[in-house]
Amino acid sequence: MGSYDYYRMFGFFNRKFKIHETAPPPDVMNAFRKYSEGEAHMTVDQFAKFLVEFQGEDDCTSADAESIIRQLIQRRHHLTKKTRRELELTLDDFFYFLFQDDFNGPITTQVHHDMTAPLQHYFIHTGHNSYLTGNQLSSDCSEIPIIKALERGVRGIELDLWPNSAKDNVHVLHGRTLTTPVPLTQCLKSIKEHAFVKSPYPVIITLEDHLTPALQAKVAEMVTEIFGEMLYYPESGCLEEFPSPESLKHRILLSTKPPKEYLESNNHKEGQNSSPVEKDSSEDDFFLKETTEHTIESESDAKYDSDLDDEYGDIQNPKTSQLAPPQYKRLIAIHAGKPKHGLRHALVTGLDKVNRLSLNEQALEKAASLYGTDVVRFTQKNILRVYPKGTRVTSSNFQPLVGWTHGAQMLAFNMQGYGKSLWLMHGLFRSNGCCGYVKRPEFLNKRGPGYEVFDPKVRLPVKKTLKVNVYLGDGWRLDFSHTHFDTYSPPDFYTKVYIIGVPADEAKKKTRVILDDWGPIWDEDFSFPLTVPELALLRIEVREHNMSEKDDFGGQTCLPVSELRPGIRAVPLYDKKGEKFRSVRLLMRFQFL
């Protein structure tokens, strides 16, 4: 008989809890005995040896070990005045250390990738419609989601620019929807204030420009006045090569299509009740049409869009002799274009200059299926941005692995949403100290003697095997109410462990269910053979088993396999929106075989 049935049958509704002190698992006790040499206490030097040999922290010194022990004793016992000889760890102190994620987390918290390569050599944490507070059709536009994204380490911010109703100023909103606007100046000032709170590396502002030349000139004034010397743009007007994140620290870059000629007609006269070129739809609208290799452009697209080949020169309207505002065009650091003659053509012919190309998720999937190596080759010189398809009106996101395996640097995600795809995005960008730039695997940047590149379709041999041990979990009783999971009994937790990566590496395992326990002990291990560990993510999710309904969510995290620190580690868990729980964490061990 289950505990719920017992309480229901006998009418006892006073909740009973199985609360006990979590004991160290056998592997922890064995490690302590080994490195304390069978004694009841572990010295500073013995602890240092454990950190180097067992935890794989090769650069750890005896002084580092002493500093950690001092902080642990202060935190746990509130003792400060101890000589070095008196600094020792008991088994309980040792176990306490292992379960502190700030001392013993699963990945390093420091920037450690080479940051001197060109921008296209990095995955860049990128937002989509960064100003939206909710869905894509009717939510408010605000600077608040922009601030939240920057504080999380997002480095790519997207702003859709439209004239206000009086056509004399610029609003940010999702065009042709019911979203309420926010003034552009408000967004720019918020970007300036919060751009480098989390990371010193450059912020790229992607502009979806639906403005007249007069308003483009107004934008140029705004950005130069607000950003000042923070604004980076090439003196020559266009980049021969992309700079490195290191060289662009604390700089802000604009990225958009160069200005087009603004054609006057009987229905469109500057200064009158006109709107920007209505047929110049956003990238979202355009690429929803990208269902065949050779896009059939509308007459208006042909009329208003400049060719990629002509994008670096001033564009003159033969009818009005009106020049597009050169000061606005000069401020565009990363030029964007779209594949006027078909995507394959743009991928192959865009190799002689640096550009940013934007595709929606459907166009990327098609390109990956038909000519994946061309996509990889294109990203070795240029930047590829991928954004959600237009039907994702609830601000959901797409699965990012197709983009990453083909080298796409900027996968634009709806950061205000949540779900498993966004968890993967959070996971990748926990790499490299959460700075927003993750160095792509070197095989994505290399070419063979015959100009061949990495082919995501080719199955490779196993490169290494990741062994994962899920020991135990704790902290739910502190972060959740006692009736959150079950009204009359403690929760029944189990853990699911996934590998997300190239198709050959995908895997899913799960532990057994531990009944009626707030501090479950599983002590189970799993092995994952990996062919491309550089692109693999370890996704972990704790669930509470429920007989009659859907299993309850108990926390999740996602960790880049290439960043995992070997040894026994404290793994903090996050809620569905990616916010870290204060107390909930797992104790796990990672080994590479």
CA distance 262 to 268: 9
Residue closest to 69 by CA, chosen among 29, 101, 42? 42
Sign of CA dihedral 385, 390, 396, 401: negative
The question of whether 112 is a catalytic residue gets the answer no
Residue closest to 516 by CA, chosen among 498, 493, 542? 493
Q: What is the CA radius of gyration of the chain?
A: 27
Catalytic choice (174, 210, 335, 406): 174
- Residues 6 or more apart in contact with residue 458 via CB below 8 angstroms: none
CA distance 163 to 252: 23
Residue closest to 385 by CA, chosen among 141, 205, 578, 171? 205
Residue type, 278: E
CA distance 298 to 398: 28
Residue closest to 155 by CA, chosen among 189, 197, 104? 197
The question of whether 210 is a catalytic residue gets the answer no
Sign of CA dihedral 354, 113, 541, 414: negative
Q: What are phi and psi of 107, to 5 degrees?
A: -135, 160
CA distance 212 to 357: 23
DSSP per position, 254-287: EEEPPPPP----SS--TTSS--S-TTS--HHHHH
Residues 465 and 507 sit within 8 Å (Cβ to Cβ): no
Residue closest to 250 by CA, chosen among 202, 293, 213? 202
Catalytic choice (113, 121, 128, 171): 128
Residues belonging to the active site:
128, 174
